[in-house]
Amino acid sequence: MKIFELLNKSFHVHDIKRFQEMWPKDWTLRFISLILAVGLWYFVGGDDTVDKNVLVPLEVINLPRDLVISNQFKREIEVTISGPRSQVLKIEKGDITKQVDLAQAVPGTMVIKNEIHLISVPRGVKVLRTQPDSIIFSMDKLIQKQLAVKPITKGNLAPHYVLQAVRMKPETISITGPQAVLAQLGALQTQTIDISGMNQSTQLQIPLDLNPALLDLIGETSVTADLVIAEETVEKHISGLPIELNGQGGARQVTPSTATITVLLPRSLARENKDLQSLFKVTAVDDGEAGQMTVKVSPRGNSLNSVQIVKVEPMVVTYSEDKPQLPSLFKPDQAPRKE
């Protein structure tokens, strides 16, 4: 208490007024300026300067429509930047990009310099160097080519079966790409199809066997392979087949009256059927030729669709009309007498 009393006695009213006259009237503005100056010094002048390596993606622009980049070039470059720590450490991959203008490109090789002044960075940050310092582009004409799809198979089918056909869907594929790449191709090949032990037709999805250049153009591509598999056939000669008339009006007789055919039968069908004549129907059809009819052979039943008719003998037969005999008006012993 004694201290406060002494202080109170030492300061008189005129001393307080004198102190107020000495304090500047714009002290508030001066105080704010001081705070701003300290903050600016801390964030700019007082912040450490650091270097950092950043991966910068390349952005190709204005590439002519009839040209394509045919080589594998670097899609990003390494850029060393320098600036205040608070700014530099916030910059990550993708925050800075480098545009490559190919508006003047022509077929051939182009070398583009990675000039540091063309790389846009935030204010206060500068680019020190790039790695690499240039990018090489190989320019080629862009063409379109239709390529057939060729199946590749390996292995052996089950015994007594044959691979009759491999049908591809699609049969051809249209590819647009560099002339240097497509000019060397005659066809597209599938990856190897293993047919070992197969005994029936099947459908498979098979990837194409693509080199890296084609893989970049069209990506992973699959096609459909229809494998047509059938049993081995044996050749048989069947004779003595009666020739039937195909719904002809009137009474007709054909000559010859039987036919001989040569057919290809599945091995199992030929082995199981003793009477091969019963498997076929032979018909004589009037084709408009006077006195002649065409011989047609057809298997009996839908189960014989795999049967192939190789030869028919004869292919044409002749016919004649059977005229009915008129009844006699007189008995032999009652013949009319001449007057």
Write out the two tokens for 317: 């037969």
Q: 49-141 — its CATH code? A: 2.170.120.30
For residue 255, pLDDT over 70 is answered with: yes
Average the pLDDT over each of 89-103, 242-256, 300-314, 325-339 and give the range with the smallest value.
325-339
Q: Which residue has the higher pLDDT, 190 or 70?
A: 190
For residue 335, pLDDT over 60 is answered with: no
Residue ranges in the chain assigned as alpha helix (H): 2-10, 13-22, 27-40, 85-88, 179-182, 212-218, 267-272
> Per-residue pLDDT tens for 168-221?
999 999 999 999 889 989 999 999 999 999 999 999 999 999 998 899 889 999
Give percent of the chain above pLDDT 70: 81
What residues have CB less than 8 Å from 237, skipping those under 6 apart? 260, 261, 262
What's the pTM? 0.57
* Of the candidates 111, 98, 17, the residue with the CA atom closest to the CA atom of residue 56: 98
Whole-angstrom distance, CA of residue 114 vs CA of residue 129: 9
pLDDT band of residue 4 (cuts 50, 70, 90) is very low
Parts of the chain belonging to CATH 2.170.120.30: 49-141, 233-321
> Per-residue pLDDT tens for 101-160?
999 999 999 999 988 888 888 888 999 999 998 999 999 999 999 999 999 999 999 999
For residue 20, pLDDT over 70 is answered with: no
H/E run at residue 76: strand 76-84
Architecture of domain 233-321: Beta Complex (2.170)
- The answer to whether domain 151-231 has CATH 3.40.50 is no
Question: What counts of helices (H) and strands (E) characterise the chain?
Answer: 7, 21
Write out the two tokens for 117: 């002044």
